[in-house]
Amino acid sequence: MSAMLALLLAAGAEVPYVPAFDPAALKSQVAGPPNLVVVLGTPHLSGLPADFDPAHLEPLLARLAAWKPDIITIEAVSGPECEMMLRYKARYPGTYDSYCRDPGPAQKALGLDMAAATAEADRRLAAWPAQPQPADRRHLAALFLAGGEPASALVQWLRLPAAERRAGDGLDEALASEITALTTRRNEDYLIAAALAARLGLERVHAADDHSSDAINASLDNDPGFEAAMRRAWNNPVAERRKARDDALTARLDDEGVLALYRDYNRPETAQVAFDSDFGAALADPSPEGYGRRYVGWWEARNLRMVANIRAAIAAQPGSRTLSIVGVSHKGYFEAYLHRMHDVRLVDAETVLQ
C-alpha cells in the first residue's frame, strides 16, 4: 500500500478508483486496415465577417480532398432526431426551430413522411448504380430533403451537370430553388462538407450533431441565475485572449488567411484553451445550484452522443478514412472520446493542413 493511499484511508477519504480496463490500449487485435479519423475544428462560417469570400476556402478544400476521406460527418442534427424533437417540443424548447429545417414541402411533394423518405433513401443507396442518371440524383436529393438531410441533398445537386440542376423527379421548382440557395449559404456543412463530398465522388454526408441532451438544462432557459453564473464564468483572462486571437485571425481571410485560421484552430494547444476559457471556468462556478456543472454535464453528454453517431457511421465501413467537421470547441472532446475506440486511429489535422 502506498503512503498516499494509507493517508487517504486513515482520513476516511474516498479513494479514487481508476479502472484497469482501458479500451484505448486494446487496438492490436484489429483485423485489416484501421479506421483513420481526422477531426477538423472549424469556425462557424456564418459568424465570419460579412466580406468573407467563400472562394478563399479552396486551398483548405484542396488539402482535405488530398487526404481522400471516405466518410464526412458534419455538425448537423439528423432528420429523425429533428422529428423526435418536434414531437417532444415541450421538452426541447427552441431546439427544433434553431437547428432543424422544415422537411414538410419535400414530404408533400413525394407523398412520404420522414420515416418512409429515410428508408427509401437508404434502399436506393444500397442499390445505387455505378453510373446513376440525372433523374436518379434529383430523386435522391428530394428524398434527402424529405428525410431532413439538406447537406446530403446538396451533395447530389452538386454531382449533377449544371444543366441538370433543375426541377423534376420529385423536386418541384421551390425545392430546386431551396437546394440552389444552399450552394452559397454561409455554413461549413454546405461550403466545405457537401462541396468536398461532391468533389470526392461521395454520395452523402453524415449528420452527427445531437441536441437530445438539451433536455438536461431546458428548465434553466428562463433562469436569470443560470445566465448570470455563466457570464461570470466566461468573463476570464483566457477567454479574452482567445477572442483577441480569433479577431486577429479573422481580420485577414484570403487564401493564406483561411489556412492560417484552420491551422491555428487545429493546433493541439487550442483544445486546452477552449477548456480553460469555457468548460473549465464553468466547472469552477461556486453557485449552490451547480449551474456551471450542469452546463458541462450537458456539453459532455452532447459530445458523447455526437461521437457515438460518428462511430456508427464508421462501423458500416471498416478500414475507412473519416473526416469529422465540427465547431472547434468540440474538437478536443471528439479526439479524446474517439481515441478510446478499439477500431479508430486518429490522424493529426495539422498534418493534413500542411
How would DSSP label each residue in 51-109? T--GGGGHHHHHHHHHH--SEEEEEEE-HHHHHHHHHTTTTSTTHHHHH----HHHHHH
Burial 108-127 (b: 16+ CB within 10 A, else e): ebbebebeebbebbeebeee
How would DSSP label each residue in 214-231? GGGSGGGTT-HHHHHHHH
Same domain, 81 and 216: yes
Same domain, 188 and 280: no
Q: Which residues contact 344 (CB under 8 A, 6 or more apart)?
A: 34, 35, 37, 311, 314, 338
- Domain annotation covers residue 10: no
What's the mean pLDDT in 321-340?
98
Same domain, 251 and 316: yes
The answer to whether residue 110 scores a pLDDT higher than 90 is yes
- Domain annotation covers residue 17: no
> What was the pLDDT predicted at 4?
66
- Domain annotation covers residue 331: yes
Same domain, 241 and 321: yes
Q: 3-class secondary structure for 78-90?
A: CHHHHHHHHHCCC
Same domain, 216 and 348: yes
Phi, psi of 176 (to 5 degrees): -60, -40
Same domain, 58 and 121: no
Same domain, 86 and 121: no
- Domain annotation covers residue 21: no
Higher pLDDT, 4 or 276: 276
- What is the extent of the structural domain holding 198? 102-147+150-203
The answer to whether residue 3 scores a pLDDT higher than 90 is no
Angle at 23 between CA 18 and CA 25, to 5 degrees: 95
Same domain, 49 and 192: no
Please state the domain count of the chain.
2
pLDDT 10s digits, 237-270? 999 999 999 999 999 999 999 999 999 999 999 9
- Domain annotation covers residue 3: no
The answer to whether residue 35 scores a pLDDT higher than 90 is yes
